[in-house]
Chains A and B, each alone.
Chain A
């Protein structure tokens, strides 16, 4: 695993994850499996630049993805260890 930092949006259900991709279709994101260290969510996550997560959150709310359906994390990978910080919820 390479060293990097990014924003990660996780979802309560695969349906919410798929709906969110439609809302965020203009965004630059990567669909990735939810990191194993984050257990309380479904398996589909969206990885994006940390600077984009706030705008993404606003759009998701406007796009009628209920706040309780997703979580936002800041992820830092350093020498193979993963640090994660919950930014929302």
Chain B
């Protein structure tokens, strides 16, 4: 089975591939034209417990999922008992944006100093600007949480929308599937 997903905006390549893999199509090759899509397809493979290989011809990428390429379930589904923090905005709370930006910085600083680091930090929509912009303090605090074991997922669609994908300073480019699956696995999800 071959899918030409070149020119398709995130998350379409993942949606198209997942549909085929779910239907048990056997071997599948997906062609895409950007690295974000490659990373998201690799993650899709991991989350579904499937091997995949990437071929790059200098311009486009082919991601190959071999038939029956199951991997051991170590990375496929690991249960977690921690908590997640979801950050969907640049500012904490409604009201003044200037105050909200300060509150967000302080909240993330406090989280990074906490003894119990979150299992996941999830950034979406305006929240992605906190780890991919001019603001260095937050990226540093997030990186110190990563060092303590926190997994940081940053919405790739959102980075592309704001045209700041190349500025990402903390965390990994992710997608709706992985972000929602992290929420599902968490004991509780705190939204900032």
Contacts and interface: CB of A to CB of B under 8 A. Distances in A.
B113 A1 contact: yes
Contacts of A43: 106
For the side of the interface on A, what is the size category? 10 to 19
A44 B100 CA distance: 12
Nearest to B106: A33
B99 interface: yes
B137 interface: yes
A33 B99 contact: no
A32 interface: yes
A30 B110 CA distance: 11
A1 B113 CA distance: 6
Interface in A16-34: 17-18, 21, 30-33
A43 B103 CA distance: 9
B166 interface: no
A14 interface: yes
A18 B106 contact: no
A33 B98 contact: no
Chain A, interface SS category: mixed
A18 B110 CA distance: 19
Given A1-B113, A43-B106, A31 B137 contact: yes
Contacts of A1: 113
B102 interface: yes
A33 B110 contact: yes
B99 A18 contact: yes
A32 B109 contact: yes
B129 interface: no
B98 A18 contact: yes
Nearest to B110: A33
B106 A31 contact: yes
Contacts of B99: 14, 18
B102 A18 contact: yes
Contacts of A17: 102
B151 interface: no
B138 to A, nearest CB: 10
Nearest to B115: A1
A31 B105 CA distance: 6
A32 B110 contact: yes
Interface in A41-85: 43-44
Given A30-B109, A33-B110, A43-B106, 8 more contacts: A2-B113, A14-B102, A18-B98, A21-B102, A30-B137, A31-B105, A31-B137, A44-B106
Interface of B: 98-99, 102, 105-106, 109-110, 113, 137
